[in-house]
Amino acid sequence: LGCPLIPDVVLCFYHFCKLVFFLSCRYVSKTAAQPVSEFEYDAPSMKTPVPGPKSKLSPPPHSLFISQNVGAVNFFCNYEESRGNYLVDADGNRMLDLYTQISSVPIGYNHPALMKAITNPNNLTAFVNRPALGILPPENFPEKLIESLLSVAPAGMTRVQTMACGSCSNENAFKAMFIWYKIKERGASGPSAEEMSSCMINQGPGCPDLSILSFMGGFHGRTMGCLATTHSKVIHKLDIPSFDWPIAPFPKLQYPLEQFVRENAQEEARCLEEVEDLIVKWRQKGKPVAGIIVEPIQAEGGDNHASHDFFIKLRNIARKHGCAFHVDEVQTGGGTTGKFWAHEHWGTGDPADIVSFSKKMLTGGYYFKDELQPDKGYRIFNTWMGDPSKNVFLSEVLNVIRRENLLEEVTRSGKALLQGLYELQAQYPHLLSRARGLGTFCAIDARDDVTRDNLILKTRDKGVLLGGCGEMSIRFRPSLVFKEYHAHQFLNIFNDVLAEYK
Adjacent-strand bridge partners of 86: 83, 96
Region for 333 from its dihedrals, namely left if φ exceeds 0, alpha if ψ lies in -120 to 50, beta otherwise: beta
For 59, phi and psi rounded to 5 degrees?
-80, 160
Which among 174, 178, 215, 219 is annotated as catalytic?
219
Q: How many CB atoms lie within 10 A of CB 264?
A: 21
Proportion of the chain in helix, strand, coil states, percent, rounded to 5: 40, 15, 45
How wide is the angle at C-alpha 263 spanned by C-alphas 259 and 268, nearest 5°?
120
Which among 303, 328, 387, 445 is annotated as catalytic?
328
Look up 359 and say whether it is catalytic.
yes
Q: How many CB atoms lie within 10 A of CB 300?
A: 24
- Residue 211: strand, helix, or coil: strand
Look up 97 and say whether it is catalytic.
no
Q: How many CB atoms lie within 10 A of CB 313?
A: 16
Look up 383 and say whether it is catalytic.
yes
* Helix 406-427 × helix 484-500 angle, to 10°: 20
For the chain, the C-alpha Rg in angstroms (whole number) is: 25
Residue type, 212: I
Look up 116 and say whether it is catalytic.
no
Q: Is the dihedral of CA 65, 67, 71, 73 positive or negative?
A: negative
Q: Report d(CA 29, CA 423) in Å as an integer.
A: 10
Which among 359, 360, 390, 483 is annotated as catalytic?
359
In total, the chain counts a number of residues equal to 502
Q: Report d(CA 417, CA 414) in Å as an integer.
A: 5
Residues 6+ apart with CB under 8 A from 381: 134
Q: Report d(CA 232, CA 161) in Å as an integer.
A: 27
Residues with active-site annotation: 219, 328, 359, 383
